[in-house]
Amino acid sequence: MPTDKAQALVVDDETDILELLRITLARMEIHAVTATSVAEARARLTEQSFDLCLTDMKLPDGNGIELIRHIGARHPELPVAMITAYGNMDSAVEAMKAGAFDFVSKPVELQRLRQLVAAALKLSHRPGGESDAAAPQLLGASPAMARIRQLIAKLARSQAPVFVTGESGTGKELAARLIHAQGPRCDGPFVALNCGAIPHDLVESELFGHKKGSFTGASSDKQGLFQAAEGGTLFLDEVAELPLQTQVKLLRAIQEKAVRPIGTQREQPVDVRLISASHRDLNAEVERGRFRQDLFYRINVIELRMPPLRERSEDIPALADWLLARIADKTATAPLPLSPEALATLARHPFPGNVRELENILERATALCEHSRIEAADLYLPETTPVTTAPAPPPDSAPVPPDPMQWDHAAAARRLGMSQRSLHYRLTRLGIE
Ligand SMILES: Nc1ncnc2c1ncn2[C@@H]1O[C@H](COP(=O)(O)OP(=O)(O)OP(=O)(O)O)[C@@H](O)[C@H]1O
């Protein structure tokens, strides 16, 4: 038996399909060991190690899902893909939920099998993904974040569509980038689209591309983001904002693994992993008729929930240190430390804007701080904002001091109903001082 070749375990009870797969894999320089039942597959797994397993769903003594679970428990490094009957998306989804890294439907297309095998071999040769110092990091020592890092490492090995939920600023895009960076598609592109930021009439052309002249304004051929993400990952942020009509086309693209640019007749095959995210409750959007149930089912094969910062305030000190270092880097200065009172104030803050809000607070504090460390007052959080004794802010028509030389900052701040520091900040920002 050749030992330098990659080894695949192929499980199917139809011997002619086994033979076909064996020959096809042999052409890809892969040696296939075959099995016709769950029991036989389990026995083969004890005899040698494999780089890939392909299994059919229906087997005489059980089903492929059982085998996927067995491999997940006993041989977690071995990538398994499910062979499904054509168009049977339900078993594909079930298999991926059970831990299969991908699926291929019968009759098996050569091109698709090649992609699948290439991804599997990358996985088995790079167990666990390599950590790269320059790669983004998901910080936080809380048990919730530790679990998320583990889940991300696992999801990175799969090709299953992932739906990331969580409030704004909880790190949904960061999680998507990590899933991409730690997986076999890491050498391919990571393409992100904020679906809420694009006018409804342009979103389809953005996603699928268009041909010159296909609509007013289409002055040249344009590649869509699906094509741009070929071999990599497409991240659809705020996916709930997609118009219903585009949702239909997106569903088709996922099902067919192909897209049709506007103004063309031919579908182009695409090999893209889809990760989507929303801060909305998509179940509720489905109930309200604003999001298609069938699309939700396809994009939400695996759900990853990013917890809000207020549920894991123990993560704040490490995150704050890291963010302060990043802020200091941008301005080429030394990072400012936080006083214990400032840290305690942060721990009590509810952070509706989560990590992004923490970053903004620290950026502002760094800009305003006049000492060598950030004090609670520098954070300008509601409970620390100095209480002003001034009455309501003056109307717009309030007289402006005629001569800047006569400005009295303390008086001006009082009249405006803000602290002197805050006035100073605004004046500097506006370039008035
Ligand atoms: N755990 C974390 N470790 C390090 N940085 C984080 C973490 N979580 C979030 N961030 C940082 O916070 C900022 C916001 O994160 P990100 O854009 O991923 O959030 P989001 O949930 O996608 O936000 P939105 O819903 O508004 O699009 C980014 O600068 C990101 O790097």
pLDDT (tens digit per residue) in 159-201: 999 999 999 999 999 999 999 999 999 999 999 999 999 999 8
Task: Determine the topology of domain 6-125 in CATH.
Answer: Rossmann fold (3.40.50)
What are the helix (H) ranges across 222-281? Answer: 225-228, 244-256
Ligand 1 centre to CA of 362 (Å) is: 15
Q: What is the secondary structure of 24-87 as a DSSP string?
A: HHHHTTEEEEEESSHHHHHHHHHHS--SEEEEESEETTEEHHHHHHHHHHH-TTS-EEEEE-TT
Task: Name the band, by pLDDT with cuts 50, 70 and 90, for residue 400.
Answer: very low
- Residue nearest ligand 1's atom 23 by CA: 169
Segments of 238-307 assigned E as strands: 258-259, 268-269, 273-278, 302-305
CA–CA separation, 261 and 221 (whole Å)? 9
Q: Residue 388 forms beta bridges with which residues?
A: none
Least confident of 226-230, 236-240, 261-265, 384-388: 384-388
Please state the atom number of ligand 1 nearest to the C-alpha of residue 168. 25
CA–CA separation, 194 and 277 (whole Å)? 9
| Per-residue pLDDT tens over the stretch 270-314 | 999 999 999 999 999 999 999 999 999 999 999 999 999 999 999
Average pLDDT on 103-129 reads 80
Q: Residue 121 has what pLDDT?
A: 87
Least confident of 95-104, 254-263, 303-312, 399-408: 399-408
**β-strand 162-165 against 190-194: which pairing, if any?**
unpaired
Q: Residue 136 has what pLDDT?
A: 75
Ligand 1 centre to CA of 354 (Å) is: 8
Least confident of 31-40, 83-92, 352-361, 401-410: 401-410
CA–CA separation, 12 and 7 (whole Å)? 16
Domain 6-125 shares a fold with domain 143-305 = yes
Ligand 1 centre to CA of 329 (Å) is: 18
DSSP state of 262: B
- pLDDT of 130 over the 90 cut: no
| Per-residue pLDDT tens over the stretch 43-73 | 999 999 999 999 999 999 999 999 999 998 8
Please state the atom number of ligand 1 nearest to the C-alpha of residue 164. 21
Please state the atom number of ligand 1 nearest to the C-alpha of residue 355. 12
Taking the CA atoms of residue 39, residue 45, residue 48 and residue 50 in that order, the dihedral angle to the nearest 10 degrees is 130
Ligand 1 centre to CA of 138 (Å) is: 9
Q: Cα separations (Å) of 359 from 86, 288, 290, 311, 379?
A: 48, 35, 33, 17, 11
Ligand 1 centre to CA of 197 (Å) is: 18
Ligand 1 centre to CA of 359 (Å) is: 9
Taking the CA atoms of residue 241, residue 247, residue 250 and residue 255 in that order, the dihedral angle to the nearest 10 degrees is 130
Q: One-letter amino acid identity for 40?
A: E
Ligand 1 centre to CA of 355 (Å) is: 6
**Averaged pLDDT of the chain:** 86
Task: Name the band, by pLDDT with cuts 50, 70 and 90, for residue 391.
Answer: very low
Residue spans of the domains in the chain: they are: 6-125, 143-305, 309-385, 393-433
- pLDDT of 429 over the 60 cut: no
Q: Judge if ipTM > 0.85.
A: yes
Least confident of 143-147, 216-220, 313-317, 382-386: 382-386
Q: Residue 401 has what pLDDT?
A: 41
CA 257 to centroid of chain Cα atoms: 20
Average pLDDT on 381-390 reads 54
DSSP state of 400: P
| Per-residue pLDDT tens over the stretch 71-92 | 988 988 899 999 988 777 888 8
Please state the atom number of ligand 1 nearest to the C-alpha of residue 315. 1
Q: Residue 107 has what pLDDT?
A: 86
CA–CA separation, 301 and 266 (whole Å)? 28
CA–CA separation, 235 and 271 (whole Å)? 14
Please state the atom number of ligand 1 nearest to the C-alpha of residue 170. 21
Ligand 1 centre to CA of 169 (Å) is: 5
DSSP state of 169: T
What lies within 8 Å, CB to CB, of 206 at 6+ separation is 193, 198, 224, 225
Please state the atom number of ligand 1 nearest to the C-alpha of residue 166. 21
286: tokens are 């489905």
Query: Which residues form ligand 1's pocket by a CB distance below 6 Å?
Result: 138-140, 166, 168-174, 237, 279, 319, 355-356, 359
Nearest-Å Rg of the Cα atoms of the chain is: 28
- Residue nearest ligand 1's atom 13 by CA: 356
Q: Residue 371 has what pLDDT?
A: 85
CA–CA separation, 272 and 322 (whole Å)? 33
Best residue among 138, 356, 357 to mutate for probing ligand 1, ranked by most atoms within 8 Å of CB: 356
Q: Cα separations (Å) of 68 from 11, 89, 139, 206?
A: 11, 17, 31, 37
Q: Residue 141 has what pLDDT?
A: 87
Task: Name the band, by pLDDT with cuts 50, 70 and 90, for residue 428.
Answer: low
Task: Determine the topology of domain 309-385 in CATH.
Answer: Helicase, Ruva Protein; domain 3 (1.10.8)
- Identify the CA nearest to 345 among candidates 312, 388, 311, 383: 383
Ligand 1 centre to CA of 106 (Å) is: 40
Q: Residue 414 has what pLDDT?
A: 62
CA–CA separation, 78 and 123 (whole Å)? 8
Please state the atom number of ligand 1 nearest to the C-alpha of residue 140. 1
Kindly report the backbone phi and psi dihedral angles of residue 87, in degrees, each rounded to the nearest multiple of 5, phi listed first: 80, 0
Ligand 1 centre to CA of 305 (Å) is: 13
Q: Residue 404 has what pLDDT?
A: 43
Please state the atom number of ligand 1 nearest to the C-alpha of residue 176. 18
Q: Residue 330 has what pLDDT?
A: 84
What lies within 8 Å, CB to CB, of 151 at 6+ separation is 304
| Per-residue pLDDT tens over the stretch 338-378 | 999 999 999 999 999 999 999 999 999 998 888 899 999 99
Contact in structure between 316 and 358 (CB atoms under 8 Å): yes
Percent residues over pLDDT 70 in the chain: 85
Q: Residue 389 has what pLDDT?
A: 42
Best residue among 148, 177, 355 to mutate for probing ligand 1, ranked by most atoms within 8 Å of CB: 355
- Residue nearest ligand 1's atom 26 by CA: 168
Contact in structure between 259 and 226 (CB atoms under 8 Å): yes
Q: Residue 416 has what pLDDT?
A: 59
Ligand 1 centre to CA of 59 (Å) is: 44
Decide yes or no: CATH 3.40.50.300 for domain 143-305.
Answer: yes
73: tokens are 């428990």
Long-range CB pairs of 211-216, under 8 A, 24+ apart, other chains included: 211/261, 211/262, 211/263, 211/264, 212/263, 213/263, 214/261, 214/262, 214/263, 214/264, 215/262, 215/263
Percent residues over pLDDT 90 in the chain: 64
